[in-house]
Amino acid sequence: MESKIRNFVITAHIDHGKSTLADRMLEITETVEKREFRNQFLDQMDLERERGITIKLQPVRMVYRHGESELILNLVDTPGHVDFSYEVSRSLAAVEGAILLVDVTQGIQAQTLANLHLVQQQGLKIIPAVNKVDLAFSKDFLFDLKKKMSELVGCLPEEVLEVSAKTGKGVKELLDAVVEKIPAPEVNDLKQLRALVFDSAFDAYKGAIAYLRVVDGRVDKNDRIKFFATDTEAEALEVGIFKPKLTPTGFLRAGEIGYVATGIKNPGLVKVGDTVLNLKSQNSNLKTEAVKPLPGYKEPQPVVFVNFYPEDASKFDLLELALGKLKLNDASLFFIKEKQEVLGQGFRLGLLGTLHLEVVRERLKREYQLDPVVTIPTVLYKAVLDDGELKNVFSPSDLPPADKLIELQEPWVLGEIITPNSHLSGILNLVQLSRGVAGDISNISETSILINFVAPLSEIIVDFYDKLKSVSQGYASLSYEISDWQKGELVRLDVLVNNEKVDAFSRIVSREKSYTLGKLTVEKLKEILPHEVFPVPLQAAIGSTIIARVTIPASKKKLGNFGKNGGDRTRKMKLWKKQKEGKKRLSQFGKVNLEPSVFFEVFKATK
C-alpha cells in the first residue's frame, strides 16, 4: 500500500517569495483558520517578521485533497540568506522533494545555485517554479528563464511551473505536482524505531523538544526512547505534529514529520543529527534486530568568531544557560568559555556570518533579557611561529609576541556573484576595494553575468553583502566558500579610552586599512560616549604607535554670574582654575564606564 505522505521543502534565494508561497499553501489546504491567519505565518519569531526574512526552518503539516484521495503534505519552510544555509541542508535530510522557486523579475541568483547544489547532493526530486508572474515582465525573459531552469534541473521547459504566491495563481497546480512527482516515503511500522533529529527547541515545562523525521517504526506517547549519540534515555512525554503549532497526536509513524517532548532539562543532550531509538514501546509487534544509527549531518564550520561577556559578572550563569538553549534551536551556534583579564569571564562564539551574530544577540536580548558586551567580530587566523608551530588565532588576545611571530595567515574565499550586466564596473571596483581579485566573467542570460572572484574572508563577512546590494541596486547576489590560506599584511589595532586599552575594541585588520579604521573608531566613540567631568582622550594604536586621537572635552559646571552687574570676576577665575586642576586629577584616576551597547554600535559603524 502506497503511503499518502509527501515531505518537501521550498528553497530559493532570499526575497524570492518562499514565505508568501507557504502562506498560500496554508490557505488552500485550510491548515490555519482565517481569523488566525497573518502574512509570513510560518515565520514564528518577531525578529523574522520585522526583518522580512526567514531565519529558522519551520515545519508544517497540511492535509490536501487530490482527486478522491486525501494526502498529508509535510512542508519545511527554509531560509534564503547565505548565513543560514545550514538550516537548508538540515531540512533536506528530512524530505524526499524540493520546490526550487525563482523570482521572474530577478532570475537565477547565487543562492539559487547554492541551494540547488545541496538539493542535488541529497538526491531529491526537484519541482522548478517561477514566482511573481502577476508582475510586469518580458515574455522573452520568462522563456529564457524557464529554459535555463530546465537545463539546471534536467526537465523540459514546459515542466517549469508558473505561479504567483501573492495572488494564488498556479499554487494549486504546484501542490498537485508535489503529490504526483515527489516520491512517497518508504513506510514500515514493523521495524525498530529510527528517527532523525533535524531540529530542536526548549520548553520550560516540556524540556528539550526533538523535531523528528521518522524513518523506520513508530513512536508512541510514554515510550522509553534513547538518543544514540549522547546515550541519553528519556520518556516520550508528548508526541505530535506541527500545525504549525505543536499539536499532540499521541504517535508518529514511519514517513511522518513531528516532534517528541522529552522532559530533558540539559539542552546539550539533544543534538541535531542524532538518531532516536526505542527502548520500550507500547507497540508489541516490533522486531528486535540490532539497529544502526542514521547518517547524521556534517558539522557546520563557523566563519565568524566573537566574544560575549555578561554586562554584570553575576549574570554569567544566566548567559551560559541562555546560549545553551539557543544552541538547542540553532545547531550552527558554537560557544566555549573564555576569560580575559579586563573583561572577565565570558564566551567565545563561532557563527556563520555577521547577520547570524546580530540574530543571536537580538534573541538574547528579547528572549532572555540579556545584553552582553560583544567584542569586534573576527575570522580565524593562523600564526606561524619561529619554531615552526601553527597556532590558531581566534581574537587579537591570542596573538603571539611579535618576536616569535613569523607570519600571520588569513582565510581566502572563492566566490560567485550574479548581477545584471549594467552593474559590472561597480562590482569589479567593490571586489578590488575588498582586497579581492576578479576572475572569469561569463554570461548566464542576455541580461545577467556570473563573476568569479577571490578575496579575504574577513572582507566578505563584515559588510561586503550590504555594499554589493547597494552598488547593484539590490539585484546582485553572492555565494562563497573558503578556498585556502594566504599570508596577510595584518596588524593588531587597539583602542585606548582615557589611556586604558579596551580589549573589546581590539581587532586584526589589514595594514592598508588600519589608519582609516582607527580614525573612524575614535570619531564614532566621541560621538556616542557621554561627557565626563574630566576630558577623555580616545586613541587608536598599532603597537606603541598612536595613529589617531580625539578628545571628549569635560562637561562644564556653571559657576554663576560672577562679574555681571558689578560682581568680582577674579573670584570666577579662581574657581575656573580650581576646577581645571580637579579635572586634571580626575583624568589621571577617573574611570570611564562603557555601556554594553557601545561595543556593538562601534562595530556597526566601522564594519
pLDDT tens for 360-374 read: 888 898 888 998 888
Any known ligand binding at 487? Answer: no
Tell me what pLDDT residue 464 has.
87
What is the arithmetic mean of pLDDT over 151-176? Answer: 92
Name the CATH topology of 5-181. Answer: Rossmann fold (3.40.50)
pLDDT at 40 over 80: no
**Rounded (5°) CA angle 474-478-484:** 150
What is the arithmetic mean of pLDDT over 33-42? Answer: 64
Any known ligand binding at 354? Answer: no
- In this predicted structure, which of 304-308, 543-547, 592-596 has the lowest mean pLDDT? 592-596
Any known ligand binding at 95? Answer: no
- CA atoms of 354 and 598, how far apart (whole Å): 17
Q: Are 385 and 400 in contact (CB under 8 A)?
A: yes
pLDDT at 288 over 50: no
- CA atoms of 262 and 260, how far apart (whole Å): 6
- CA atoms of 206 and 265, how far apart (whole Å): 9
Q: Are 75 and 178 in contact (CB under 8 A)?
A: no
pLDDT tens for 332-348 read: 888 999 877 666 789 99
pLDDT at 283 over 60: no
What is the arithmetic mean of pLDDT over 208-225? Answer: 91
List the chain domain ranges. 5-181, 194-280, 304-368, 382-487, 493-606
CATH of 194-280, one of 3.90.79.10, 3.40.50.2000, 2.40.30.10, 1.10.3720.10: 2.40.30.10
Domain 493-606 bears CATH identifier 3.30.70.2570: yes
pLDDT tens for 431-446 read: 999 999 999 998 887 7
Any known ligand binding at 265? Answer: no
483558520: which residue's cell?
Answer: 33
What pLDDT band is residue 138 in, cutting at 50, 70 and 90? confident
Max avg pLDDT among 88-102, 129-143, 241-255, 456-470:
241-255
User: What are the cell numbers at 255?
Assistant: 514517513
Q: List, in order, residues 6 or more apart from 486 with CB less than 8 Å away.
A: 409, 410, 412, 456
Integer angstrom CA distances of residue 279 from 44, 219, 227, 276, 563 = 34, 10, 10, 10, 91
- Rounded to the nearest integer, the mean pLDDT of the chain is 84
- CA atoms of 216 and 195, how far apart (whole Å): 7
User: What are the cell numbers at 21?
Assistant: 508561497
Tell me what pLDDT residue 93 has.
83
Any known ligand binding at 419? Answer: no
Any known ligand binding at 271? Answer: no
pLDDT, greater one: 25 or 84: 25
Name the CATH topology of 304-368. Answer: Alpha-Beta Plaits (3.30.70)
- In this predicted structure, which of 20-24, 138-142, 418-422 has the lowest mean pLDDT? 138-142
Name the CATH topology of 382-487. Answer: Alpha-Beta Plaits (3.30.70)
What is the arithmetic mean of pLDDT over 84-90? Answer: 68
Pairing relationship of beta strands 275-280 and 224-227 according to DSSP bridges = antiparallel
Any known ligand binding at 23? Answer: no
Tell me what pLDDT residue 3 has.
76
DSSP 505-550: G-EEEEHHHHHHHHHHHHHHHHHHSPP-SS-EEEEEEETTEEEEEE
- CA atoms of 548 and 539, how far apart (whole Å): 6
pLDDT, greater one: 279 or 287: 279
Tell me what pLDDT residue 269 has.
86
pLDDT at 318 over 90: yes
pLDDT at 120 over 60: yes
What pLDDT band is residue 358 in, cutting at 50, 70 and 90? confident
pLDDT at 581 over 60: no
Q: Are 107 and 448 in contact (CB under 8 A)?
A: yes
Tell me what pLDDT residue 82 has.
63
- CA atoms of 132 and 273, how far apart (whole Å): 35
- What is the helix (H) or strand (E) element at residue 496, kind and residue range? strand 490-497
Neighbouring C-beta atoms of residue 578, cutoff 10 Å: 10
pLDDT, greater one: 101 or 111: 101
Tell me what pLDDT residue 43 has.
54
- In this predicted structure, which of 200-214, 376-390, 581-595 has the lowest mean pLDDT? 581-595
Given CA atoms 391, 395, 398, 403 in this order, what sign does their dihedral have? Answer: positive
Pairing relationship of beta strands 194-203 and 405-420 according to DSSP bridges = unpaired
pLDDT, greater one: 374 or 411: 411
Any known ligand binding at 133? Answer: yes
Any known ligand binding at 19? Answer: yes
Q: Are 364 and 372 in contact (CB under 8 A)?
A: yes
DSSP SS3 for 196? strand
User: What are the cell numbers at 402?
Assistant: 611579535
User: What are the cell numbers at 108?
Assistant: 537565477
What is the arithmetic mean of pLDDT over 207-235? Answer: 91
Residues forming beta bridges with residue 11, ordered by sequence position: 100
520550560: which residue's cell?
Answer: 204
Tell me what pLDDT residue 293 has.
77
Tell me what pLDDT residue 439 has.
92
What pLDDT band is residue 589 in, cutting at 50, 70 and 90? very low
b/e map 216-250, b = 16+ CB within 10 Å: bbbbbbebebbbbeeebebbbbbbbbbbbebeebe
Integer angstrom CA distances of residue 164 from 18, 31, 102, 140 = 11, 20, 11, 18
What pLDDT band is residue 557 in, cutting at 50, 70 and 90? low
pLDDT at 564 over 70: no
Domains 382-487 and 493-606 belong to one CATH topology: yes
Q: Are 496 and 447 in contact (CB under 8 A)?
A: no
pLDDT at 224 over 70: yes
What pLDDT band is residue 457 in, cutting at 50, 70 and 90? very high
pLDDT at 266 over 90: no
- CA atoms of 337 and 342, how far apart (whole Å): 15
What Rg value do the Cα atoms of the chain yield, rounded? 28
Any known ligand binding at 16? Answer: yes
